[in-house]
Structure 1
């Protein structure tokens, strides 16, 4: 079989789902694809380059089509779709975090989100910073979600919560042992409210 770039990325994402990011090595990927690791370097000069391609594939899966409506509702939709794309793959958020890839779909996501805020009235620089802040929140929250999922799967989560409960009250505990979607939505709304405040003050 002729090994193509797309096949390598497909295989890498499948291995990611199976082993997590820490288990993803070029050697293991080569074994999974039935080739020597050296064959992979013909397409990707480093593991970092492969991770960039994986991050781009994850971002490519995000539907950027938006229904007409207020900027905050459209922004909420984009942020939620980003989270769902990251959750589709084990450690997907860690793959995207810090990749700083300049591939087409990653850039398009950022440009689409920034355009919403510029049209709402934010200056270009602040719009870019706001998109970065929201994206970093989504990625960071999802990293924690996926780390928690690993702890649940290996049976460690209840012990960690028992230990934490001895040191904190129920209110503090709820920050960790709560519905992930509900907590994500709350934090995201805080950020959107902050952007709305920026729009209000900048127009005065």
Structure 2
């Protein structure tokens, strides 16, 4: 049931997912689904938990920075496969076991690296804000392929007086229109900036309240 619900959401968006349509896809009456979930909210929570199950957990064999980079890249890839999940990230009041295990491993990786509780919370928030934000931005873009990107950039250039918007015109012409440009390539660059900043932060003297546990 969860697999079919996720497939429907992937194909048509979360707004199109109803218990009736899910029942039709499964070949059963919609009311029979309530033998497995109490309501639609419970179904959505289960879907989110299934999505978290797909994310690579930070490995104990990696240093914290490598582990968090792999996990972040995996998370962004999962959200690309299931873009509807970006709107449900905070909707569940009863997170499932995969969600809880994921969060616990992320926090544990940071704590074991020397981050204080407060610093771990800040780092977790910074990383996930970037991951979710990038995924939502990517979802809203009016293009997906290199050809569509180039076509959109040419349209923008035609509408941008270079003397009025010189830097926007420059970025479009000298960056977006370069052969092989892909907006998705921006993600690992931004991720590394955040990880590098966290690395410097944990290595430098910090106020007492944020100082890593010795």
TM-score normalised over the length of structure 1: 0.78
> 93, 96, 100: which is aligned to 1:103?
96
Alpha carbons 1:51, 1:95 under 8 Å: kept: no
Distance 2:66 2:12 in 1: 36
The C-alpha deviation readout for 1:21-68, integer Å capped at 9, x for no partner, is 232222221221122322223333333322211110011122326263
Corresponding residue to 2:19 among 2, 18, 26: 26
The match for 1:190 is 193
Q: 1:142 & 1:152 partners in 2: Cα distance? A: 13
For 1:139 and 1:176, the matched residues in 2 are separated by 26
**Secondary structure of 1:169's match?**
helix
Q: Which residue of structure 1 aligns with residue 169 of structure 2?
A: 169
Matched with 1:5 is: none
**Matches for 1:1-80 after TM superposition, within 5 Å:** 8-64=1-57, 66=59, 68-80=61-73
RMSD: 3.1
- Count of matched residue positions in the alignment of Structure 1 and Structure 2: 194
Q: Deviations over 1:52-92 (max 9, x none)?
A: 11110011122326263332111101111112222233x24
Deviates more, 1:162-171 or 1:11-20: 162-171
SS at match of 1:97: coil
Q: Which has the larger radius of gyration?
A: 2
Match of 2:165 in 1: none
Consecutive unaligned residues of structure 1, counting only runs of 5 or more, are: 1-7
1:97 Cα deviation (Å)?
A: 2.5
Q: Contact conserved, 1:26 with 1:47, CA < 8 A, in 2? A: yes
Taking the aligned partners of 2:66 and 2:125, their CA distance within structure 1 comes to: 18
Gapped regions of structure 2 (runs ≥ 5): 161-167
Cα distance in structure 2, aligned partners of 1:175 and 1:187: 17
Tell me the TM-score normalised to structure 2 length.
0.75
Moved more, 40-49 or 167-176: 167-176
Following superposition, the deviation at residue 159 of structure 1 comes to 6.7
| Runs of 4+ deviating beyond 6 Å | 155-159
In the aligned structure 2, how far is the partner of 1:65 from the partner of 1:199? 19
